[in-house]
Amino acid sequence: MSTEVFIGVDLGGMSAKASCLSGEGRLAAVVRAKTDIEDSPEKTINTLARLVREAAERGNVPQSSVAAVGVGAPGIIDCETGTVEEWTNFGWKRIPLAERLGSLLQKPCFVLNDANAAALGEARYGAGKRFQDSVLLTLGTGVGGGIVFSGRLYQGYKGAGGEIGHTVIKLGGRKCSCGRRGCLETYVSTRALARDALSEAKKHKDSKLYLLWRERGTADGFLLFDALKRGDACAERVFSRYIAALGEGILNLANLLRPQAVILGGGVSAEGETLLAPLRRYVNARLTAGDYAPLNILAATLGNDAGIVGAAEYARQRFS
């Protein structure tokens, strides 16, 4: 490893993970610790400090070679000061995470939103590494992501941008947790997909989708894709509406920002070409100036490491 190493931390509600990122973009072994909703911010920050030291040890990096630490954290983050403005789940409010962790470690610390960290990781070392500008769209229980321009994150004023899931694609549409109606998230999250599959299945009790659901007892994103692979017409109807909603969301990003790549993350993206091929067809048929300025639609490649890699890369960019 080069002499200057950056450590990335991915802080979540169940666990925190950390690892060293070398100058060549390789990640060392990932170390983990539990996080607990009952713990005070102080205790959680102590856990993070211990985890960072452990990550350095496991990566055979002397503490003196650790240049800086980046932390991807949930909630609303003031990325300039590294303060967690609000992490509702853990009851955090205005916690100066960068400052406190930095003083424990005696290293510069930088904090950013976890979805933005994943976007930066994928952009620099994952699916987006051939491109200057890319947008990550994470299709999970919710829909998040981040925007990378010229290899750097665009986080908006005080880091409040990048809320891709909370852009309305249907005025007066489905009620969203954010209070608005018709947000992209309410149509393309895995939760929405599972719910739409179940609702369509119940209308067609002779469909493979319905039979699969009865067999398994749960409706999730996999149910739809499994029925789809068995050539079920009912599943195809649900899927084609899903592709249209997701496609329109991607076209919106393309017309507004025209990145060279939109990278899809989250569980659904593991479906690969089953998802990507029809999505590319939908988008390319409707993309203005698409021949001239084409858009690549790709699946994320870093999986669960994207956040750690991106947090470390963020520390590198902020440090230099």
**CB of 148 closer than 8 Å to CB of 118:** no
Q: Is 177 in the site for a copy of itself (CB under 8 A)?
A: no
Record the tokens describing residue 50, joined without a space: 């211990």
Candidate residues 1, 178, 211, 276; the one interacting with a copy of itself per rule CB under 8 A: 178
Distances (CA, A) of 229 to 27, 139, 196, 271: 35, 20, 17, 11
**CB of 7 closer than 8 Å to CB of 52:** yes
Distance of CA 83 to the CA centre of its chain: 20
**How many Cβ atoms sit within 10 Å of the Cβ of residue 94?**
10
**Minimum CB–partner distance for residue 172 and a copy of itself (Å):** 8
Q: Is 258 in the site for a copy of itself (CB under 8 A)?
A: yes
The residue (of 105 and 261) whose beta carbon lies closer to a copy of itself is 261
**How many Cβ atoms sit within 10 Å of the Cβ of residue 307?**
31
Distance of CA 98 to the CA centre of its chain: 21
Q: Is 50 in the site for a copy of itself (CB under 8 A)?
A: no
**Minimum CB–partner distance for residue 35 and a copy of itself (Å):** 23
**How many Cβ atoms sit within 10 Å of the Cβ of residue 72?**
30
**CB of 32 closer than 8 Å to CB of 15:** yes
Candidate residues 33, 67, 211, 244; the one interacting with a copy of itself per rule CB under 8 A: 244
Q: Is 162 in the site for a copy of itself (CB under 8 A)?
A: yes
The residue (of 252 and 274) whose beta carbon lies closer to a copy of itself is 252
Q: Is 93 in the site for a copy of itself (CB under 8 A)?
A: no
Q: Is 180 in the site for a copy of itself (CB under 8 A)?
A: yes
**Minimum CB–partner distance for residue 188 and a copy of itself (Å):** 11
| Max CA separation in the chain (angstroms) | 65
* Rounded-to-integer distance, Cα 47 and Cα 25, Å: 25
Question: Which residue stretch of 159-167, 198-206, 269-277, 310-318 sits at the interface with a copy of itself (rule: CB under 8 A)?
Answer: 159-167
The residue (of 9 and 188) whose beta carbon lies closer to a copy of itself is 188
Which residues of the chain form contacts with a copy of itself (CB under 8 A)? 76, 78, 85-86, 132-133, 147, 149, 154-164, 166-173, 178-180, 182, 187, 244-245, 248, 251-252, 255-260, 286, 288-289, 292-293, 295
